[in-house]
A and B are shown apart, each in its own frame.
Chain A
Amino acid sequence: MNKYILINQEAKGVLNADKVVGLIGTHTLIDYDVELVGSIPSFRTYLLDDFSGTGALNVNLVLSSELAADQGKAKKLFLDYLVKAFEELSITSTSTVTFYPPKGISIGTVSG
């Protein structure tokens, strides 16, 4: 049975923020990373059944000015929050958990 991490557009606590803009299926997920190239960092997933060296899902991250000045910090924050969602999903009996990005990061374009 596949389980999914639902990607919320905004951080928890942001007014009127609940809006799912994408999902990560975990069954065939073998890796993910945040690529820091150019002014817009992107979150990418790598799948067992649809593998590409350049990634499958491609999610642009929109950073606050503070985090834009320290993209390394933004990357670590984002991945720290994501693995918490992963851990939550692994112990819950439900098939989904919602991932809220950390404050200062919102989800931009989601593409495959």
Chain B
Amino acid sequence: MNFGYVKDTAGITKPINLDDIKIINVTSDSITIRYNLTGTSSIVDELAFFISFNNTGDISTGQIESQFYKWLKNALISTSPSKASLNSAMPQLEIVTAGLINTSGYRNATFLAAVDETAACAASPTAACVVESEVGTPPVGTLVLANPSTNDYEPIADGTYALNVGGSKYFMSLIGSRIVQITVCPLVLDFVFDPNQQASGTPSDSNYFSLANVNSSTFINYYGAFSMSAFTGSGFSISCSSLTSLKGSNDRTWPCGYIVNGFLDATKGLGQLPAFAIQLADPNVASWNGATLYVSDDYYVTGDYTQATWVGFNEDYWLQGFSNFGNGTQFPAGGISPTVESLIMGPTTDPSTLQPAGRVFIPAGTSISGNAVFGATQFVTLTRTGDLKNSSNCT
């Protein structure tokens, strides 16, 4: 049993197994200890103990390597844990994190330097990073590493930043690449679509936001109605080649098509249906690309979007099921066939991940936060993360 020890900027000391090391990779800001030779060059989900550091002394990679091997030699024969401390052997390095990197333990995010909260919340961060936090607002102490390219994880300089995690924006301060202060940005929405605007008949044009469904019959089953003769059109094949298809008897989109065709009436929840909202990547640029889709189950209560509760309409949300998506829902939880995912994912493909993606139909309108104007109804790709891509005009 041979162990060295390393302490990170969170103040946590971890042992480093010095037995069975197969290879060591040293760069100017990291040391990777690998315990196998058969893996890929990836360090994620691999037998790779990753030590990331700020090179405050600006010492060369050769010097780091030399000092590391000197430490290793001493640690292997040391009988005292204190003499096996990597921090003591390499005082020029501020060690930010040490350990395996597992995908189950972090989320992808983006960041951007910002002088204050106002600037941060108005910014659209684009630099890739990983956040060692699986759900919710990352707490103080959370590790944040820049991820400029695959397998490259780097400490971020001390300072203040905008952070975007799954569509939620934050203003954070980092010291030692760890969050020491974090503030949730108020959600700034550009569009709100409320299908309840008509108690019967057709939702108004400005609220005609609807999702294509993969299989009309399974969506019908989801609501416990096993036949729906009122529908004559196809499920997701609506391509907006004719707006009459989208807003007429052939419209099987949810929820607006179902309202138009008389299936979603007051007895099926009309009046209390969830509302959708969109935050553009830039409220002054009329592009759905990079926009984020939100949903609210309580918007109908006040009709005031600033008082409603909004959550990202992404797989984390829909895996819970559409429990509030109309009365009479038969299968409110994911995992029961048909799952929500099987209903809405599949009309198209996410070009980035090549995974099945959804399709949403978005009406024309003007941003309520900026000056972006969309002149036509468009159909847009909905990814599993709740982001929008690849818009096309409905003509």
Residues of A whose CB lies within 8 Å of any CB of B are 1-3, 26-33, 35-38, 46, 48, 51, 53-55, 71-72, 75-76, 79-80, 83, 86-87, 89-91
Report the stretch among B5-13, B144-152, B304-312, B331-339 that lies at the interface.
B5-13
What does DSSP make chain A's interface, helix, strand, loop or mixed?
Answer: mixed
The answer to whether B17 and A30 touch across the interface, beta carbons within 8 angstroms, is yes
Which single member of A27, A38, A55, A76 contacts B1 (CB below 8 Å)? A27
The answer to whether B100 and A31 touch across the interface, beta carbons within 8 angstroms, is yes
CB-CB under 8 A for A31 and B14, given A48-B20, A90-B81: yes
Interfacial chain B residues near A48, Cβ < 8 Å = 17, 20, 35, 47
Q: Cβ of B187 < 8 Å from any Cβ of A? A: no
The answer to whether A53 and B102 touch across the interface, beta carbons within 8 angstroms, is yes
Interfacial chain B residues near A51, Cβ < 8 Å = 47
Chain A residue with the shortest CB-CB distance to B33: A30
Q: Cβ of B134 < 8 Å from any Cβ of A? A: yes
Q: Return 19 A-B CB contacts under 8 Å, by A number.
A: A1-B1, A26-B3, A28-B20, A30-B35, A30-B47, A31-B14, A33-B105, A35-B105, A37-B135, A46-B102, A53-B100, A53-B104, A71-B139, A72-B139, A83-B13, A86-B15, A87-B81, A89-B1, A91-B80
The answer to whether B14 and A83 touch across the interface, beta carbons within 8 angstroms, is yes
Chain B contributes a number of interface residues (CB within 8 A of A) equal to 31
The answer to whether B141 and A72 touch across the interface, beta carbons within 8 angstroms, is yes
How many A-B pairs fall under 8 Å by CB?
76
Interfacial chain A residues near B47, Cβ < 8 Å = 30, 48, 51
Residues of B whose CB lies within 8 Å of any CB of A are 1, 3, 5, 10-15, 17, 19-20, 35, 45, 47, 49, 79-81, 99-100, 102-105, 133-135, 139-141
Write the nearest CB–CB distance from B88 to chain A, whole angstroms. Answer: 14
Give the complex CA separation of A53 and B105 in angstroms: 9
Interfacial chain A residues near B103, Cβ < 8 Å = 53
The answer to whether A29 and B17 touch across the interface, beta carbons within 8 angstroms, is yes
Chain B residue with the shortest CB-CB distance to A37: B134
12 further A-B pairs in the complex, CB-CB below 8 A; given A29-B17, A86-B3: A3-B1, A27-B1, A31-B100, A35-B105, A35-B134, A36-B139, A48-B17, A51-B47, A53-B100, A54-B102, A72-B140, A79-B14
Interfacial chain B residues near A32, Cβ < 8 Å = 14
Give the complex CA separation of A72 and B137 in angstroms: 13
The answer to whether B1 and A26 touch across the interface, beta carbons within 8 angstroms, is yes
Interfacial chain A residues near B134, Cβ < 8 Å = 35-37
Give the complex CA separation of A76 and B7 in angstroms: 12
The answer to whether B10 and A76 touch across the interface, beta carbons within 8 angstroms, is yes
The answer to whether B3 and A90 touch across the interface, beta carbons within 8 angstroms, is yes
Write the nearest CB–CB distance from B61 to chain A, whole angstroms. Answer: 24
Interfacial chain B residues near A36, Cβ < 8 Å = 133-134, 139
Task: Find the residue from B13, B79, B80 having the highest chain A CB count within 10 A.
Answer: B13
Interfacial chain A residues near B10, Cβ < 8 Å = 76
The answer to whether B3 and A76 touch across the interface, beta carbons within 8 angstroms, is no
Interfacial chain B residues near A2, Cβ < 8 Å = 1
